Amino acid sequence: MKPAPFEYVAPESLEEATSLLGEHGEVGKILAGGQSLGPLLNMRLASPEVLIDINRLEELSYIRQRDGHLEIGALARQRTVERSPAIPRRWPLISDAMPYVGHMTLRNRGTVCGSIAHADPAAELPAVATALDAELRVLGPEGERTVPAADFFLSYMTTNLEPEELLAEVRFPPPQPRTGHAWFEIARRHGDYALVGVAAVLTLRDDGACDAARLVYTGVAPVPFDAREAAELLVGEQPSEDSFAEVAEHAAKASEPGTDVHASAGYRRHLLGLLTRRALGKALERARGDEDGA
Amino acid sequence: MERKKTIHVTVNGEEYEREVEVRKTLADFLREDLGLRGTHLGCEHGVCGACTVLFNDSSVRSCIIYAAQADETEILTIEGLAPAAGPLHPIQEAFRDKHGLQCGFCTPGFVLASLDFLVEAREPSEEEIREAISGNLCRCTGYQGIVEAIRAADANWER
């Protein structure tokens, strides 16, 4: 398993990187963590002519809070984000999901933006970005644009990115007060892609009724499956096990999981229902314990 | 842009300058160009963990990193863990004492992943240990000996 020949360039600045992308984008590929791209190259499922290695762009390795938003640059490693002390308090969904992203040795190298740009529908971070309404900052030869996560994922490993564009940053908005997050997933082995994963985000009103709810799933559609109709059943209701069960059933019916060697569509649907109930329960518990949105 | 690149890399404390083909993996570079065959190649696509080395102090899979990317970095392989003539590293001792290996093919990867884990972890639970080594495959031991070895290494390694 050796990759096909390619040319390699490691730009020293963001300007150099975007200009190289403008020149070679159509036949090139960005190399960040390389933990998804490396296997594809070795198996020759991908054979770009040029690899543009952005690992020298230290200016993109930031994890910072600005105006209440969490901003993660293209070179911030998953492991660094996982260990970042400020994230679990305000964006617990990110820190809940992160340990499920591959294994420690992969997270040491893999980047948050890389996983989002790779857009594997079974991966955790695209679903997390969707559930938290993240914004994606995209740089290209023409300049910069911002894409909401909900518009970014088009199909299996296909995004809104043009060949000459770079996902430079993912930006998570500040959480609303009285909001609870939860991530649950089931995989055959720890670190493998999950059969089904779910991100639940629940916001409560002062009277304890549900103000807003999001449910986003991995593994059941070509893109993160945003079960808006099911989640909206909760809005205005007092959360209860019964209402969670109803929502879970609705989401399971609306999903279109496939059958493969790992699990049947029916089993995936069963898991989806089960995990939805668990995730909503956990999110509710957290939302009730969260008075200030912190 | 080139298909070859000259790299300067420190491996196990020794500096090397070599010209490499840019598509050459770090694992192949270590084994073929430097003769360090303790880094084993199992799957060659980032699944089995046998080729784990430390890359600037963090554990990575050397089969999905290219040697060109190791320019100006420090690499530690299993050969650099303890001097050939001296005593074994406490993690290696623990793998020997607790039967953490049988055929030994996966062992360099397990030892280096354990090293990365134990640098920070103190008195880890069995669950934490199993999670830390979940990216490494062993087909002989059933993992129990490996888990016990890591627990013993945690107790014995003064760090």
CB B63 within 8 A of CB B54: no
**Residues A76 and A99 both lie in one domain:** yes
**Residues A78 and A32 both lie in one domain:** no
Q: In this complex, do A35 and B63 lie within 8 Å of one another by their Cβ atoms?
A: no
pLDDT of residue A294: 47
The CATH number that applies at residue A209 is 3.30.390.50
pLDDT of residue A291: 56
pLDDT of residue B84: 86
Residues in chain A with CB shorter than 8 Å from the CB of B111 are none
CB B137 within 8 A of CB B48: yes
Residues in chain B with CB shorter than 8 Å from the CB of A3 are 23
| Domains held by chain A: number | 3
Average pLDDT over residues A76-99: 94
Residue A155 lies in a domain: yes
**Residues A72 and A86 both lie in one domain:** yes
What confidence tens digit (pLDDT) does each residue in A153-173 have? 999 999 999 999 999 999 999
Average pLDDT over residues B51-70: 97
Provide the β-strand partners of residue B97. none
**Residues A166 and A65 both lie in one domain:** yes
What confidence tens digit (pLDDT) does each residue in A258-281 have? 999 999 999 999 999 999 999 999
Domain B4-80: which topology?
Answer: Ubiquitin-like (UB roll) (3.10.20)
What gap in Å lies between CA A213 and CA A195, rounded to an integer?
23
In chain B, the percentage of residues whose pLDDT exceeds 90 is: 96
**Residues A195 and A160 both lie in one domain:** no
Q: How many CB pairs under 8 A join A and B?
A: 103
What confidence tens digit (pLDDT) does each residue in A171-209 have? 999 999 999 999 999 998 888 889 999 999 999 999 999
Q: In this complex, do B45 and A42 lie within 8 Å of one another by their Cβ atoms?
A: yes
**Residues A212 and A160 both lie in one domain:** no
Domain termination site, one of A172, A199, A218? A172
Chain B 90-109, residues with CB within 8 Å of chain A CB atoms = none
Domain termination site, one of A172, A204, A235? A172
What confidence tens digit (pLDDT) does each residue in A99-131 have? 999 999 999 999 999 999 999 999 999 999 999
What lies within 8 Å, CB to CB, of A161 at 6+ separation is A117, A138, A167
A50 close contact with B: CB closer than 8 A: yes
Whole-structure pTM value: 0.95
Domain termination site, one of A172, A202, A232? A172
Count the Cβ atoms, other than its own, within 10 Å of residue A4: 12
Over its C-alpha atoms, chain A yields an Rg (Å, rounded) of 19
Answer yes or no: is pLDDT of B51 > 90: yes
**Residues A63 and A40 both lie in one domain:** no
What gap in Å lies between CA A21 and CA B92, rounded to an integer?
46
Domain ranges of chain B: 4-80, 90-156
Average pLDDT over residues A219-225: 95
Residues in chain B with CB shorter than 8 Å from the CB of A21 are none
**Residues A43 and A65 both lie in one domain:** no
In chain A, the percentage of residues whose pLDDT exceeds 90 is: 94
Answer yes or no: is pLDDT of B1 > 80: no
What gap in Å lies between CA A63 and CA A41, rounded to an integer?
29
Residue A65 lies in a domain: yes
Q: In this complex, do A39 and B49 lie within 8 Å of one another by their Cβ atoms?
A: no
Q: How far is B98 from chain A (nearest CA, A)?
A: 24
What confidence tens digit (pLDDT) does each residue in B76-122 have? 999 999 988 899 999 999 999 999 999 999 999 999 999 999 999 99
The CATH number that applies at residue A43 is 3.30.43.10
**Residues A150 and A254 both lie in one domain:** no
Nearest CA in chain B to A47: B23
**Residues A96 and A32 both lie in one domain:** no
Question: What range does the domain containing A214 cover?
Answer: 179-288
Chain B 48-77, residues with CB within 8 Å of chain A CB atoms = 49, 52, 55, 58-61, 63-66, 68-69, 71
Residues in chain A with CB shorter than 8 Å from the CB of B68 are 8, 10, 53
Answer yes or no: is pLDDT of B68 > 50: yes
A163: helix, coil or strand? coil
Mean pLDDT of chain A: 95
**Residues A167 and A273 both lie in one domain:** no
Residue A293 lies in a domain: no
pLDDT of residue A142: 85
Count the Cβ atoms, other than its own, within 10 Å of residue B41: 18
**Residues A193 and A264 both lie in one domain:** yes
- Extract long-range pairs of A62-70: CB within 8 Å, 24+ residues apart: A63/A87, A68/A173, A68/A174, A69/A171, A69/A172, A69/A173, A69/A174, A70/A94, A70/A171, A70/A172
The CATH H-level (homologous superfamily) assignment of domain B90-156 is: [2Fe-2S]-binding domain (1.10.150.120)
